[in-house]
Amino acid sequence: MPITELLSRNATYFKNEVALVEINPAVNAPRVTWREYSLIESSRGGAFRKEMSWGDFEKKACRFANLLLTRGIKKGDKVAILLMNCLEWLPIYFGILKTGALVVPLNYRYTAEEIRYCLDLADVDALVFGPEFTGRVEEILHRIPRVKNCFYVGEDCPSFADSYDTLIEYCSTTSPSIFIQDNDEAAIYFSSGTTGFPKAIIHSHEALMHSAKVEQAHHGQTKDDVFLCIPPLYHTGAKMHWFGSLLSGSRGVILRGVSPEWILRTVSEERCTIVWLLVPWAQDILDAIDRGDIELGQYELSQWRLMHIGAQPVPPSLIKRWKEKFPKHQYDTNYGLSESIGPGCVHLGVENIDRVGAIGVPGYGWEVKIVDENRETVPNGEVGELAVKGPGVMLRYYKDEKSTAAVLDKGWLFTGDMAQQDEEGFIYLVDRKKDVIISGGENLYPVQIEDFLRSHEKIKDVAVIGLPDKRLGEIAAAIIEVKPGEYLSEGEINTFCMALPRYKRPRKIIFADVPRNPTGKIEKPKLRKIYQSENLVAKQVELE
């Protein structure tokens, strides 16, 4: 069943109930742009709030689908979305799906050239964009001739685009009669690009639907739950977690802000029960509490039942701190890739809080194995590459047979992540295959060193990378971000690391910010580019 049928079902049974809420702390005055619907907009305490019913959600999706059809968009075409998180995002997404076209979400941090690259790679036929991207789109317009239609969402529509808000008012609210099957192509997502240029990942309608089932199976969403969505909707993680709300017909809240105050305030005022955080946001909340900037007693948080984290390895020390502040919370962590329709192919499970440190067990409907270089299963306890299999595995990389063949084999997706499994079946992520540091013949796994360093009370964040070394081949370098107001010396770090085996101790300490992408992953290619170059210059100076 195509996932669009879930939206139609909700519009039938929960027509006047709230489906989506948008909270934007950056806007302090209401504005009316959606006159057509029974949409509540208000300015409350310095934030802009608006909401949409399930019935209006379905109408909006149908109107956009019919607009696209009048412009010649047909089944199999591609329509890209370049928007910040907003109330319009999901109706546009579902409108594209209703036409049988493939929806192509774009990273809002892309430069103009990266946008052009992705539009070209995916053979995009139409683009929907917001005011934040007008300059970038205009810059590349003459270089994307295939994109015949540009729809602008917002006020003050530029001359080179058509106004989405104006045009959909004249379109039918009847769902188009497009026959869609489970194995039809539904979406193109781009890999995070942490290892180079992003690849275009094709998923089927079955994969989208499976992600909804996985999310509800793992976290038990009911009609009474309220999901707080903070990460960017272009990413598989945020949207696929919200799919659990779609399946249960429950409310979702989109927060356009990541400050600890606004996260807790939104949880309190919107009565959120499920919150998905990234590691940096959870750390910021805990640090704000420790500094006294946040007083938990000022918020109504008793209904908040589940906090879960995905998109990156989670330091056990972080969850220990979290449980001290929020002892009644259920906790889960999800592992997934864009190639496996985001989160859920491996998950810890709320019943396994005592296993923090593991990424968990195979998710609902998923199989998992750990293999050696010949793709033979390794014994429990040995490190190998993690492979997953299930209905959420991508169909292929678009226009990239070589890369597809490298990671797909007989339904198995080889993730490039190194892991090990214990006797009870729990899987522990060791590191990215490409991030492993080989120093003096020993394999060093940066995630293990990072987890250890994050347990230091003065360290906010850390990244460990390999730097070239004439004698050892590579050495481990730790880039350390110190908590605000704290001081750390290299000597203190070296003393702290005496608890590590000698070969695992970082040979170089660098105090600097740790860059992360919008989904919370450390941007290690950027760090390598910076510090490997600096290391090379330093060695040249020594030689001179």
Asked, for residue 124, whether it belongs to a domain, the answer is yes
213: Cβ–Cβ under 8 A, 6 or more apart, which residues?
247, 364, 365
Q: Which two tokens stand for residue 144?
A: 């994307």
CA distance 332 to 348: 6
- Nearest CA to 395 among 384, 383, 407? 407
Q: What is the 3-state secondary structure (H, E, C) of 223-241?
A: CCCEEEECCCCCCHHHHHH
Sites in the chain below the pLDDT cut of 70: 27-47, 192-196, 311-313, 431-433, 440-441, 471, 518-520, 533-544
Last residue of a domain, one of 210, 241, 272: 241
The total number of structural domains that make up the chain: 2
Last residue of a domain, one of 241, 264, 294: 241
SS3 133: helix
CA 492 to each of CA 304, 458, 488, 489: distance values in angstroms, whole numbers, following the listed order: 39, 11, 7, 5
By CB atoms closer than 10 A (0-12, 13-18, 19+), residue 341 is: buried
pLDDT recorded at residue 47: 59
Q: What is the pLDDT of residues 487-513, one digit of tens each?
A: 999 999 999 999 887 878 999 999 999
Do 315 and 455 form a contact (C-beta atoms < 8 A)? Answer: yes
What is the CATH number for 455?
A: 3.30.300.30
- Domain range for 55 is 4-172+180-241
pLDDT recorded at residue 416: 86
267: Cβ–Cβ under 8 A, 6 or more apart, which residues?
228, 275, 299, 301, 304
Do 349 and 359 form a contact (C-beta atoms < 8 A)? Answer: no
Asked, for residue 401, whether it belongs to a domain, the answer is no
pLDDT recorded at residue 530: 87
Q: At what angle do helices 316-325 and 279-291 cross, to 10 degrees?
A: 50
Asked, for residue 284, whether it belongs to a domain, the answer is no
**Neighbouring C-beta atoms of residue 448, cutoff 10 Å:** 17
Last residue of a domain, one of 208, 225, 241: 241
Asked, for residue 393, whether it belongs to a domain, the answer is no
Q: What is the CA radius of gyration of the chain?
A: 24
pLDDT recorded at residue 441: 63
CA distance 538 to 536: 5
Do 99 and 73 form a contact (C-beta atoms < 8 A)? Answer: yes
Asked, for residue 356, whether it belongs to a domain, the answer is no
Asked, for residue 165, whether it belongs to a domain, the answer is yes
Asked, for residue 491, whether it belongs to a domain, the answer is yes
Asked, for residue 258, whether it belongs to a domain, the answer is no
What is the CATH number for 75?
A: 3.40.50.12780
